[in-house]
Amino acid sequence: MKKDTKIISAGRAKKWTKGVVNPPLVRASTVVFDSVAEMKHATRNRANQVMFYGRRGTDTSFAFQEAMVEMEGGVGCALYPSGTAAISNAILSFVKSGDHILMVDTAYEPTRDFCGKMLANLGVSTTYYDPMIGEGIRDLIQPNTRVLFLESPGSLTMEVQDVPTLARIAHESDITVMLDNTWASPLNFDPFAHGVDISIQAATKYIVGHSDVMMGTATANAAHWPQLRENSYIMGQCTSPDDIYLAMRGLRTIGVRMRQHQENALKVANWLAQREEVDHIRHPAFATCPGHEFFKRDFSGSNGLFSFVLNRGNDEALTALLDGMHHFKMGYSWGGFESLILAVNNVQGLRSVTQWRAAGPLMRVHVGLEDPDDLIADLEQGFARFNQVLAKG
């Protein structure tokens, strides 16, 4: 079945929908039983899509978990109140004091903070690695390395990793391979076909798709699902059925939304590539993006999120560019229907083992579903304000 068809049917088995189109919203803390036999049945099957207690989920979560497995692969999917909770709980589920993990240097900032502030206190050490390290990862593996964590493409700078090579080498040493797969969403990269054991999504982004819910998912293969599920449950991770309902509603349109984000973003990126203020484009579909060859080999599409590097600029000029924007608002998230822009002056402060060298600041944009001609006009006026300030100085 093609992904576009799966999007429509995923998680809509009759046992969840009871015959209506969408699985109903089931809110619960307490689940009540009429007989000892019923209670025993629920207790025995509490990890297996039978309602037992609200924290284990209701039919609404079971339907969405099943949908995620149908979309992404693996055998089970744990839900979390944010993408960040999915990342920290997935890692915590597989390490103990004295262990070591390998973390990609281009990881999302809170992921880095979790390693530096939480794991370090628990006696778990972290070695950062260059996203483009490839075979070189072998030299960083220690006898106590338990987790190899990837994020592809990387946050802000967008390096695409050679996931199959990294996973193959990690598996030679029985290391669990986790991937922050948020950029691809469940549509554009098949984590399990590329050797990943646990695939993490900030569902907050394209799955929800409307900038109104925080949620995370971690989908695991058979070897890792029971440990991920039980340890996340022990840590009290659960997600509101109302939010899950919205995430499942978002999922139904992710295919058409992402194709339009992709088309709009490519139009804007191609326009930016011709601007004399722009040094280069950091979009996986562009040859100027490190790992472009892995994007071409492994991904089936892109979306609205990319970066570009300016060849000049100062704070005052950037402020003039950003302050007058009509459609691109400044915001830290992405994946909703609206366009966003961010200027990142301190990329190097978010890196430990890779060098960031650029003539000017890095700009990260999320291209929304507006008409791209209006977005280009917005950027063009922004560059005019930017150049005016630089000409004065």
Ligand X SMILES: *Cc1c(COP(=O)(O)O)cnc(C)c1O
Residues carrying an active site annotation: 55, 108, 180, 205
Phi/psi at 360 (nearest 5 deg)? -135, -175
| 11 makes contact with ligand X (CB under 6 A) | no
CB 28 within 8 A of CB 51: yes
Cα 366 from Cα 356, distance rounded (Å)? 22
Binding mask 62-101 for ligand X (x = CB under 6 A): --------------------xxx-----------------
Report in angstroms how near the CB of residue 85 gets to ligand X at its nearest.
Answer: 7
Long-range contacts made by residues 20-24, C-beta under 8 angstroms, separation at least 24? 22/245, 22/248, 22/249, 23/59, 23/60, 23/63, 23/64, 23/245, 23/248, 24/59, 24/60
Label residues 45-81 b or e (16+ Cβ within 10 Å = b): ebeebbbbebebbbbbbbbbbbbbbbbbbbebbbbbb
| 182 makes contact with ligand X (CB under 6 A) | yes
Distance of CA 33 to the CA centre of its chain: 39
Residues 6+ apart with CB under 8 A from 150: 104, 161, 163, 166, 177, 178, 179, 180, 196
Cβ distance to ligand X smaller for residue 49 or 185 = 185
| 360 makes contact with ligand X (CB under 6 A) | no
Report in angstroms how near the CB of residue 108 gets to ligand X at its nearest.
Answer: 4
Query: Judged by CB under 6 A, which stretch of 166-174, 201-209, 229-237, 247-255 contacts ligand X?
Result: 201-209
Cβ distance to ligand X smaller for residue 126 or 155 = 155
Cβ distance to ligand X smaller for residue 205 or 292 = 205
Cα 333 from Cα 204, distance rounded (Å)? 9
Instruction: Please report where in the chains the tokens 């326009």 appear, as a residue.
Output: 271
Provide the residue count of the chain: 393
Cβ distance to ligand X smaller for residue 270 or 333 = 333
Q: Which of residues 289-328 bind ligand X (CB under 6 A)?
A: none
Residues facing 278 on adjacent strands = 310
Query: Judged by CB under 6 A, which stretch of 198-206, 322-330, 345-353, 357-365 contacts ligand X?
Result: 198-206
Question: Among residues 114, 175, 113, 185, which one has the least CA distance to residue 153?
Answer: 185
Q: How far is CA 81 from CA 28, 51, 231, 289, 299, in A?
A: 16, 20, 15, 32, 27
| 204 makes contact with ligand X (CB under 6 A) | yes
Q: Which of residues 97-136 bind ligand X (CB under 6 A)?
A: 108
Cβ distance to ligand X smaller for residue 84 or 307 = 84
The dihedral through the CA atoms of 276, 280, 282, 284 has a sign that is: positive
Report in angstroms how near the CB of residue 94 gets to ligand X at its nearest.
Answer: 18
Cβ distance to ligand X smaller for residue 104 or 375 = 104
CB 149 within 8 A of CB 155: no
Report in angstroms how near the CB of residue 383 gets to ligand X at its nearest.
Answer: 26
Q: What residue type is assigned to position 337 of the chain?
A: F
| 150 makes contact with ligand X (CB under 6 A) | no
Binding mask 30-69 for ligand X (x = CB under 6 A): ----------------------------------------
Question: And the tokens for 212?
Answer: 């109104």
Query: Judged by CB under 6 A, which stretch of 163-171, 202-210, 295-303, 371-379 contacts ligand X?
Result: 202-210
Report in angstroms how near the CB of residue 378 gets to ligand X at its nearest.
Answer: 23
CB 202 within 8 A of CB 182: yes
Report in angstroms how near the CB of residue 178 gets to ligand X at its nearest.
Answer: 12
User: Which residue number places its CB atom closest to ligand X?
Assistant: 83
Q: Which of residues 213-242 bind ligand X (CB under 6 A)?
A: 214, 216
| 202 makes contact with ligand X (CB under 6 A) | yes
Report in angstroms how near the CB of residue 190 gets to ligand X at its nearest.
Answer: 18
Instruction: Please report where in the chains the tokens 């915001």 appear, as a residue.
Output: 331
Residue count at the site for ligand X (CB under 6 A)?
13
Report in angstroms how near the CB of residue 149 gets to ligand X at its nearest.
Answer: 11
* Backbone region of residue 18 per phi and psi (left: phi > 0; alpha: psi in -120 to 50; beta: other values): left
| 243 makes contact with ligand X (CB under 6 A) | no
Binding site for ligand X (CB under 6 A): 82-84, 108, 151, 155, 180, 182, 202, 204-205, 214, 216
